[in-house]
Structure 1
Amino acid sequence: MTGIKALISGAGVAGPALAYWLARYGAQVTVVESASARRTGGQLIDIRGCGRDVIARAGLTEAVRAARTVADGLSFVDERGRRQASVRADGFGGDGPVTEIEILRGALVEILHEATGNSVEYVFGDRIGALDDRHDGVHVTLEKSEPRRFDVVIGADGLHSGVRDLAFGADGARLRHLDHYLSFWTAQNMLGLRDWTEVYSEPGRTIGARAVDGNTRLMAFLSFRSAPFRYDPGDTTALKAVVRSRAAGMRWYADELIAQLDDAPDFYFDACSQVALPHWSSGRIGLVGDAAFCASPLSGHGTTIALVGAYVLAGELAGADGDIAAGLRAYEDRLRPWITRIQRFGQANGKTMTPRTSAGIAFRRGVVALQERLPIGELLLREQIRMSNGFALPDYTGHERARS
């Protein structure tokens, strides 16, 4: 890919991961990010199955393991905090309900940025305003910087992708709402949790907390079932009011966790949605990660498919002998069947995370209790584990012409 100029929109996980592989294959890579600086906050994310293999091929396993948040397991509790069913992280090959590698999103982003810092140009505080795919490349209008031309432009800018809107039209997103909303925020560890997660559910809503930062803090979360409703993603005050109203009257430690919303520096709220596009590219413009195939947090595979998607996209572009459009099509042809499988899993998994009824909560408790008993647990999770490891990573080492 020597001489190929690539522009990536989005400096989260998928963007820097893609930048790493493209630079490794010899491309000149620029990443543009609308935020004024690298985003260091964010919730806990999982790296499963094939995602761990990508991290290993990038030579980042040691760094990721050193930065991960230790996770011994998870318990479902009743309103008095009594643990009713638990599952540990040291079973199921690291791909069970609690994964072997759980890491704060900001920590993974920092690792990826450090891995690309000397070979990739980062432009913060700017965004793509227009794209014009011509015979000589994609002419890009940036909101603040001078216009530039690139051989390929990739949107890695998340669920609400601006590049996707420019390439396919605002109505082309095809967001599939999964009748769930999810919020995260940091809180004091008043529960005294140590390397553990506790989850409490009432019909249609779930609240929980996970020990982070050496057990000094909690990553609290609330999920609730709801039909779609309109909200302004930039109005944090209004969104915190939504979280308070949806958690009102919940027992356990709900009041104590909700009371810390205003002091949380990294509050997050969004709908659990999936992206279902007929194509992931148009000409020399493509998409990766949540922008292309968001499976929603309910899938438990968002980070994994972002890492794998970036690896495959870079490899197929490198192997396309300069035919960018062909490389983008090959990437989609190779990856889409696995992504479709994970999206279907995400659609079903919401029923487990936030059951609608007391009977559903009891059923989940019984299933989790069975998972503690091997080999019953392995049988119950067999399909999920196969799915996490169900994509055979191609070998693209032959394209590493730029490596010294």
Structure 2
Amino acid sequence: MNSSCSGRRLRTMASSLSLPQTTISDILSRLPVKSLTRFKSVSKDWAYLTSTPAFVSDHLRRSSSDPSLIVRCYNTQSGFDSVILLITDPTQNFACRHLAVPLDEPLPLFPKIVGSIGGLVCLDVSPCYASDFVLWNPGTKQFKRLPFPLIASTRSNPIWLVFVGFGFDSFNNDYKLVRIVSFKRNDGLPFVRAEVYSWKEGFWKELEDTVCFDSAIICGGQDGVVVVDGSLNWVAIGLQRYADRKVVISFDMRREVFKTIPLPALTRIGNVKVMSYMGLLAIAVYPLVFAANGNNMNRFEFSVLSDCEDGRKHWTNVVLAENFSKSLVPMGTWRDRELMIKQMGDRDNHPKLFLYDPIDERTKRLPIDCVDLYLQCYSHVESLVSVDGRN
């Protein structure tokens, strides 16, 4: 047998033994991003396959069932001496590694995490006014500096407060960054303008409907926003008809409009953190100042906004803890089911971070050493989603 016949036979055998493309796609979609990045060099066909929107979507769907935690730890509110950690298997093997922020130039402050969704992490790299942002995919190591926002501070009209949120609009297959900017009027009341950046379109646009900010003003820190069912949600202090009450200001990412959601009376006393639970909007109410004696100050409540039989929505208590010995501070939810709670320490004991599952009432301690520092915690999944909006 000559060599040309042998070569043709080997190619025929290889072709007959090859797997269907749907099978290959199914196998590859179960692999980690690091492996897929390596396999892109195996063949042009594989490189093309793993870059298609359908494959990127399938891979994201599979990886979403096994989220990690991305944590920013910092010693002071100024943001110095900070680090970003990626923690896989938080309740089992607990693999932890440092993530290097992919910026070449020095920054005046360590980046703040705006949000993590679909494998993309949005970072605020500005020294003030949340005015400079980066989209970053830690899995693929891609990053992109976003164009500067439209709304800026001026000498005659200086910015007072800025709040931001980063989420996914599933209807339009678009990741969106929302920036809410407050200015002070002469009468002392806030005047609000808002804008949104579209990952798909690649530019900022100012939003016209900000009427709900006439009756409420957002409060809370940088991590005071949560994504729930296509909306971004912030806790706000009521004004005018909502005076002396707390409310939630919610931004519908599909329709790009704001609305106000009233909170139950119990939120008038204590801190309120907006959270997500099983796909529903939730709130945690916890002590303003911990007091072992009194007046319900050592009380932790977790409530969910659920549908009633009459079609209306109602706040329902899921967790209620009273008369506990140490203050409990909610940090967020992991896998949208387990509450991540920081138990404050005292002079002899460091704070502890643990997960609590309201369904089976199980508690799991997370072995994170730096819980006595400030923390930002977000669920994070690996993905192939491009920072450039091509998916």
With CA pairs under 8 Å and 6+ residues apart, which has the higher RCO, 1 or 2? Answer: 1
| TM-score between both structures, scaled by the size of structure 2 | 0.24
Which of the two has greater helix per residue? 1
Richer in strand (by share): 2
Q: Which has the larger radius of gyration?
A: 2
